[in-house]
């Protein structure tokens, strides 16, 4: 009869392709049971990976069957996303496990397009995902997500998020006319954003992606100080001027204690659709060098491709327009690395502690 020790040793040879670690030492392997020649076990991933689970299950079953005496193998591979710690002194948002800011130092680097595709990529991998359009002055997510109409409110105080492609969405763009300019000073804009965040009935989200406006102004600072951010992703182009501003965004998050999950280099290279010639219009490798300089993860690079722009403008972004295409594959790889970085962070245990009240005896 096979022993649990022999099975653990065999299963330890299977390496998670995303983390580079085995499932035994990371304690992802659970409930290993042996009954005669029958073996069963669970493997619990800390990140969404619906598309990869069948292949992982096959590898684990094959490894277990390689042990002498093993007959039938039942392997249950699932993802379980938990809440992780945010900045000190900032309580988690009810119904939201992890909040990820997608930021850039300057506009025009494709931050909103990146944010929407990362949200859709996480949802495609099986996570419950929300998307908050934090750009009060230039909301773009209603158009990119192909959503029209206004949010409903059952109590006059809170709003139901809009939804499309399996992602919950909230934006000031749902509450004002499309061509109306938001001529508000900073305090009004930040108050409106806090209301959008806290008065939306987010439905038990694994991840809330926050599409921040460009720069390091009032809105970014308020969110970074008052909202429980699990981490931030910096989007830049390889261009020197974009990198200069991206560094300012990095410094802002460092000062308020929000960890940087990594850097995404957008518009890294242009491939001519007629002749296939590759040209680095905005420079080459700038984002990768910046990641090395600041000792941060380089999450990936997206090309300057007309399909990305056309698909976002049409309200059907790349990840849902061409889910099996090369570009969607890059977005999914970036989203997966982002989720893995979060899974490796310290968990939030605030819910496990009892509330302590001090009363004075009379």
142 in helix, strand or coil?
helix
Binding residues are 105-112
Measured between alpha carbons, how far is 3 from 70 in angstroms, rounded to an integer?
Answer: 10
- 185 Cβ contact list (under 8 Å, min separation 6): none
Distance of CA 343 to the CA centre of its chain: 11
Can you say which residues are annotated as belonging to the binding site for ATP? 105-112
Exposure letters 220-232 (e unless 16+ CB within 10 A, then b): bebbbebbbbbbb
Closest by CA to 10, choosing from 64, 52, 47, is 64
Residue 89 φ then ψ, to 5°: 85, 5
Confirm if 142 and 173 have CB atoms less than 8 A apart. yes
3-state DSSP call for residue 132?
Answer: strand
The answer to whether the Cα torsion of 146, 150, 152, 156 is positive or negative is: positive
Residue 356 in 3-state DSSP? coil
Calculate Rg over the CA atoms of the chain.
22
CB neighbourhood size of 95 (10 A): 14
């Amino acid at each position: 009869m096979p022993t649990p020790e022999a099975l653990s040793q065999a299963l330890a040879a299977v390496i998670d392709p995303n983390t580079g670690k085995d499932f035994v030492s990371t304690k992802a392997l659970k409930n290993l049971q042996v009954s005669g020649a029958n073996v069963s076990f669970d493997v619990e991933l800390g990140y969404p990976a619906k598309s990869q689970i069948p292949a992982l299950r096959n590898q684990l079953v094959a490894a277990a069957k390689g042990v002498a005496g093993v007959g039938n193998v039942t392997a249950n591979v699932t993802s379980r996303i938990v809440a992780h710690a945010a900045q000190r002194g900032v309580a988690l948002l009810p119904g939201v496990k992890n909040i990820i800011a997608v930021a850039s130092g300057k506009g025009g680097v494709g931050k909103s397009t990146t944010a929407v595709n990362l949200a859709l990529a996480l949802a495609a991998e099986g996570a419950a995902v929300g998307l908050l359009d934090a750009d009060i002055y230039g909301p773009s997510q209603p158009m990119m997500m192909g959503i029209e109409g206004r949010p409903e409110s059952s109590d006059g105080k809170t709003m139901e998020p809009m939804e499309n492609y399996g992602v919950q969405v909230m934006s000031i763009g749902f509450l004002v006319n499309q061509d109306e300019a938001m001529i508000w000073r900073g305090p009004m804009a930040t108050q409106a954003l806090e209301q959008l965040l806290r008065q939306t009935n987010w439905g038990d989200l694994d991840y809330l992606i926050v599409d921040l406006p460009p720069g390091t102004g009032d809105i970014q600072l308020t969110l970074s100080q008052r909202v429980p951010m699990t981490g931030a992703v910096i989007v830049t182009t390889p261009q020197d001027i974009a990198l200069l501003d991206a560094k300012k965004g990095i410094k802002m998050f460092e000062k308020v204690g929000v960890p940087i999950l990594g850097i995404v280099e957008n518009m890294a290279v242009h491939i001519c659709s007629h002749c296939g010639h590759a040209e680095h219009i905005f420079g080459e490798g700038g984002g990768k060098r910046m990641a090395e300089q600041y000792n941060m993860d380089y999450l990936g690079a997206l090309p300057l491709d007309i399909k990305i722009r056309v698909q976002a403008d049409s309200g059907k972004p790349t990840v849902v327009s061409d889910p099996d295409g090369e570009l969607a594959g890059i977005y999914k790889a970036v989203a997966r690395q982002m989720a893995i970085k979060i899974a490796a962070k310290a968990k939030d245990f605030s819910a496990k502690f009892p509330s302590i009240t001090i009363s004075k005896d009379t």
